[in-house]
């Protein structure tokens, strides 16, 4: 078994309104940075998992993201998967 | 003026407890993926900004993240900055 570190980025689909993003953009403009626009807020989920190999880990992560982390009706996700050195004791 | 796309990743400092991450991890285990652990939830802020050059954009983003997007007491941030082709009309 190898250990993998993964980051799942969950973002709203472009067609979905993002009131939180609009509010943050207003805050940024209030700070004086009126050159900032198109602010969108997403989620970032960092996790560690053990799997036989990279392919298994990627499949499991896609299933987890699809079933639990993202709402596929309004959100999409992207997964970054990094290998972690397996402890020599295993 | 050039246009830049940026992604700001805001994550809890390792010493800070993350009850939302614990809850998501319980949900993932409930789905049957008990090989997943160390789940932490962060924020992802995507935005576009216009700036003279890359250095100015990076400085402004660091100021925005430090003042507004992240709470430096409990969170850290990381910024990815991408160039966007400037429209030829400008």
Residue A69: give its domain's CATH number: 3.30.1280.10
Percent of chain A whose pLDDT exceeds 70: 93
Q: Which helix (H) or strand (E) holds B4?
A: strand B2-12
Residues comprising chain B, all counted:
90
Chain B: nearest CA to A46, how far in angstroms? 5
Q: Tell me, what's the pLDDT at A78?
A: 97
Neighbours of B84 (CB within 10 A): 13
Q: How many CB pairs under 8 A join A and B?
A: 104
Q: Is pLDDT above 70 for A87?
A: no
Q: Which two tokens stand for residue A28?
A: 């940024």
Q: Tell me, what's the pLDDT at A85?
A: 64
Give the domain range for residue A38: 2-84
Is the Cβ–Cβ distance between A6 and A79 less than 8 Å? yes
Is the Cβ–Cβ distance between B36 and A47 less than 8 Å? yes
Percent of chain B whose pLDDT exceeds 70: 93
Instruction: Count how many domains chain B has.
Output: 1
Say if B20 falls within a structural domain.
no
* Tens digits of residue pLDDT in A17-31: 999 999 999 999 999
Say if A7 falls within a structural domain.
yes
Question: To probe the interface with A, which of B24, B29, B40, B47 has the most A CB atoms within 10 Å?
Answer: B47
ipTM given for this complex: 0.88
Say if B80 falls within a structural domain.
yes
Say if A89 falls within a structural domain.
no
Say if A23 falls within a structural domain.
yes
Is the Cβ–Cβ distance between A46 and A80 less than 8 Å? no
* Residue numbers of A between 22 and 81 with CB closer than 8 Å to B: 24-25, 27-28, 31, 33, 35-51, 60, 63-64, 67-69
Give chain A's radius of gyration (CA, Å).
17
Mean pLDDT of A35-57: 97
């Amino acid at each position: 078994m190898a250990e993998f570190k993964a980051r799942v980025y969950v973002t709203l689909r472009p067609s979905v309104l993002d009131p939180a993003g609009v509010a943050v953009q207003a805050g940024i403009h209030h700070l004086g940075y009126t050159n900032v626009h198109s602010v969108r807020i997403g989620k970032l989920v960092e996790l560690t998992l053990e799997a036989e190999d990279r392919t298994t880990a990627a499949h499991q992560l896609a299933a987890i993201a699809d079933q639990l982390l993202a709402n596929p009706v309004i959100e999409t996700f992207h997964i970054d998967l990094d290998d972690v050195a397996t402890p020599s004791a295993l």
